[in-house]
Amino acid sequence: MSQSQAPVGIFDSGVGGLSVLREIRQLLPNESLLYVADSGHVPYGEKSPEYIRERCVRITEHLLAQGAKALVLACNTATAAAAAELRERYPNLPIVGMEPAVKPAAAATRTGVVGVLATTGTLKSARFAALLDRFASDVRVITQPCPGLVECIEAGELQAPATRELLQSYVAPLLAEGCDTLILGCTHYPFLRPLLSALVPASVSLVDTGAAVARQLQRLLQQHDVQGVGPARPTCYWSSGEPERLRKVLPILLEDDGEVAFFN
Ligand code: DGL
């Protein structure tokens, strides 16, 4: 297979990266995609960086064995823990990571107060601290870890009363502090946009980096001269959790059907 026909490998701790896959599909319809949900090890947000790095190497090896020409870490927590190591191990592989949208949020806020919803792991990382130092010196940033929320999304419970209650408990303190811009700093959270829009005033902006990641992938594929020429093959999915569970939530999260294989 020529490199341009080779697929792009995308992964996350679970189904969150599908919010990024959706953006990639829209911008780059000629690319064939592979997706690994590490749902047997979700949530990454409460795991150690060492544990996450080990999982990321294992998943990358799997995607490379499937012929991936590029890698997207569709997970803020995995990027914070493992992007540097993966880039060192695979220097010739185009790798796109992601981080909370601090820069655009700092530019957009009118109240000067920005809220960040993300995992404990992302918020504790040195990478996030560096991001704040670099782009948020002129604004007040209030961070909110959200334990439990990822599990609601993994279950496809995007509108359930329990999901709403948990989300409300995380968002209310940020609104009380005057945040007018909320960063969705975990790839699972864009699936809660409809629920969030009902919980926050219309004047509050919600920002995430899915579309920016797709554009960065496009740039990298161009630089390496490996852009897909299409037609894209159906997406292949793997889960380290129960494949049946991913198969059930695919239509809810992505309006997609697909075969899901087990990956350990
Ligand atoms: N979706 C992931 C992120 O963007 C991590 C969620 C988790 O497993 O805790 O950070």
Does the pLDDT value for residue 1 go beyond 80? no
Residue 217 and residue 139 in one domain? no
**pLDDT value, residue 62:** 98
If one counts the domains in the chain, the total is 2
Spatial separation of the C-alpha atoms in residues 222 and 157, rounded to whole Å: 38
**How many Å lie between the centroid of ligand 1 and the Cα of residue 1?**
33
Range of the domain at 215: 3-98+210-262
How much is the pTM? 0.97
**pLDDT value, residue 243:** 96
Condensed to tens digits (0 to 9), the pLDDT of residues 238-255 reads: 999 999 999 999 999 998
Give residue 258's pLDDT band: very low, low, confident or very high (50, 70, 90): confident
Give residue 256's pLDDT band: very low, low, confident or very high (50, 70, 90): confident
**pLDDT value, residue 112:** 98
For residue 19 and ligand 1, the question of a CB distance below 6 A is answered with no
Residue 148 and residue 60 in one domain? no
For residue 42 and ligand 1, the question of a CB distance below 6 A is answered with yes
Task: Select from 43, 32, 85 the least CA-distant residue to 188.
Answer: 43
**pLDDT value, residue 216:** 98
Residue 176 and residue 232 in one domain? no
For residue 117 and ligand 1, the question of a CB distance below 6 A is answered with no
Protein residue whose Cα sits closest to atom 8 of ligand 1: 43
**How many Å lie between the centroid of ligand 1 and the Cα of residue 48?**
13
Token pair of 215 as six digits? 């554009």
CATH number at residue 163: 3.40.50.1860
For residue 186 and ligand 1, the question of a CB distance below 6 A is answered with yes
Condensed to tens digits (0 to 9), the pLDDT of residues 90-136 reads: 999 999 999 999 999 999 999 999 999 999 999 999 999 999 999 99
Residue 181 and residue 222 in one domain? no
Burial class (CB in 10 A: 0-12, 13-18, 19+), 168: middle
Residue 132 and residue 197 in one domain? yes
**How many Å lie between the centroid of ligand 1 and the Cα of residue 46?**
9
**pLDDT value, residue 230:** 84
For residue 150 and ligand 1, the question of a CB distance below 6 A is answered with yes
Q: Which of 187, 208, 240 best tests ligand 1's pocket when mutated (most atoms within 8 Å of CB)?
A: 187
Cα–Cα distance list, 239 to 12, 27, 87, 189, 233 (Å): 10, 25, 24, 19, 19
Condensed to tens digits (0 to 9), the pLDDT of residues 23-76 reads: 999 999 999 999 999 999 999 999 999 999 999 999 999 999 999 999 999 999
Mean pLDDT of the chain: 97
Give residue 2's pLDDT band: very low, low, confident or very high (50, 70, 90): confident
Q: Annotated catalytic, 152?
A: no
